[in-house]
Amino acid sequence: MNVTAQLRCLLIILTWITLVPAAVADHLPSPKGTVILTLSGAITHSNQPGQADFDRAMLDSLPRHQFKTASPWTEGSHLYTGVLLSELLQYVGAKGTRLIARALNDYHSVIDLDPIAEYPILLALESDGQPMKVRDKGPIWLLYPMSDYPELNTTYYHAGMVWQLRHIEVK
């Protein structure tokens, strides 16, 4: 192979190496199990046309966080483990300022991201080390750390703590 052919081959390989990850980055892995959460709207990374579907294993593969908090709907404080809302929104390339969080029973809440941007809002998947079940506000509960940030313990923020979360639309 002459030098020109080698350079051409190297140029093709370098182009492929730089372009392919950008194309793949817009496409998330597909769920293999039952979809428990869908994000749609103003997102740039998806695995279905116009949306990003997640099964439990996909959510478990993301960085885990936890906090202990009380809530108006539980007795005492509990340790909740899950995915930070901010990290999930970054993972799907969300570009909005509001969310519509919708539960399995179609309850929904509009959440303005600006006032809560600095708080570790959790998509709780576990309570006290146990997977959250539908009858216990699961499989996902959008939960604010009210014990650590008492300013979040208001009826306004309570409305945004959607349990049995199934869908988030980014606006």
Do 105 and 140 meet the contact criterion of CB atoms below 8 Å apart? Answer: no
In this predicted model, which residue has the larger pLDDT, 7 or 152?
152
Domain boundaries, given as residue ranges, for the chain: 31-170
Kindly state the DSSP code that residue 146 receives in the 8-state scheme: T
Angstrom distance (rounded) from CA 3 to CA 50: 45
Helix (H) or strand (E) holding 66: strand 65-69
Question: Helix or strand or coil: residue 24?
Answer: helix
Q: Rounded to whole angstroms, what are the CA distances from 53 to 16, 50, 79, 130, 142?
A: 28, 10, 26, 23, 17
- Which residues, 6 or more positions from 9, have their beta carbon under 8 angstroms from its beta carbon? 1
Angstrom distance (rounded) from CA 41 to CA 98: 10
User: Is residue 4's pLDDT more than 60?
Assistant: no
- Domain 31-170 in this protein, CATH class: alpha beta
> What's the mean pLDDT when you consider all of the chain?
89
Angstrom distance (rounded) from CA 51 to CA 43: 8
Angstrom distance (rounded) from CA 115 to CA 129: 29
Q: What is the pLDDT of residue 2?
A: 53
Q: Mean pLDDT check: name the lowest of 34-38, 63-67, 116-120.
A: 116-120
The pLDDT tens digits of the residues spanning 81-135 come to 999 999 999 999 999 999 999 999 999 999 999 988 999 999 999 999 999 999 9
User: Is residue 7's pLDDT more than 50?
Assistant: no
Mean pLDDT of the 142-151 span: 97
